[in-house]
Chains A and B, each alone.
Chain A
Amino acid sequence: KAGVTQTPRYLIKTRGQQVTLSCSPISGHRSVSWYQQTPGQGLQFLFEYFSETQRNKGNFPGRFSGRQFSNSRSEMNVSTLELGDSALYLCASSFTGTEGPGNTIYFGEGSWLTVV
């Protein structure tokens, strides 16, 4: 079956602009989470959506937001971009997020964002 699909794969933005990234989860998965990965901070949790509702949120400023649609596809948005937002943004999906080994998360290839 198809994996987690993220678009676009690479993009360059200017400081102050905003960006929207898209994620299509594995078919049947209802939980979608977003992570930021940088060389200095590693993988950091942004937020998780389940059934169109934000269920968990990490410690990122309000400039980072997201949403999930009825087909489980998700988007994240970063407004007023800063140089420090340059990172790999990873989307991950899982079935429901409840207990059990079957709820491993599967990552997409990521979107490489460069802010200049």
Chain B
Amino acid sequence: GQNIDQPTEMTATEGAIVQINCTYQTSGFNGLFWYQQHAGEAPTFLSYNVLDGLEEKGRFSSFLSRSKGYSYLLLKELQMKDSASYLCAVRGDNYGQNFVFGPGTRLSVLP
């Protein structure tokens, strides 16, 4: 089966660092994606991992361990505008955009 787990909600303070974890069990693996979604808006792409290790992109970093079925998204120097839902998604097939999304983690950044 396909299963992706993320914490439902997290709260952090402006300027702090937060780590959002994602664990997955899928029938195949062809990349793990992180998306940000503000309330009432479309998801927007944040990061992509297909090999083990850390991918850094400005204030955002994403880590992947394929053997553990585990990823995390690290957000540094949190800003109020980072308050959003963060979606972990796995592409299981070699062909096609058949993504399995996690339930999303709603992050609230407090002043």
A-side interface residues toward B, CB under 8 Å? 4, 31, 33, 35, 42-45, 48, 50, 55-56, 58, 90, 92, 94, 97-99, 101, 103-110
Contacts and interface: CB of A to CB of B under 8 A. Distances in A.
Nearest to B35: A107
Contacts of B45: 104-106
Interface in B59-111: 87, 89, 93-104
Contacts of B93: 56
A105 B95 contact: no
Contact of B96 (A56, A90, A109): A56
Contact of B102 (A31, A42, A92): A42
A97 B41 contact: no
Interface of B: 30-31, 33, 35, 41-45, 48, 50, 87, 89, 93-104
A37 to B, nearest CB: 9
B2 to A, nearest CB: 10
Q: Name the 4 nearest CB pairs between A and B, nearest first.
A: A43-B101, A107-B42, A56-B98, A56-B96
Nearest to B102: A42
Nearest to B98: A56
27 contacts: A4-B42, A31-B97, A33-B99, A35-B101, A42-B87, A42-B101, A43-B43, A43-B87, A43-B89, A43-B101, A43-B104, A45-B99, A45-B101, A48-B98, A56-B98, A90-B42, A98-B94, A99-B30, A99-B31, A99-B50, A99-B94, A101-B31, A101-B48, A105-B33, A107-B44, A109-B41, A109-B42
A43 B104 CA distance: 9
Contacts of A31: 96-97
A64 B42 CA distance: 21
A104 B45 CA distance: 7
Given A43-B101, A109-B42, A104 B48 contact: yes
A105 B96 contact: no
A99 B31 CA distance: 8
Given A43-B87, A110-B42, A105 B97 contact: yes
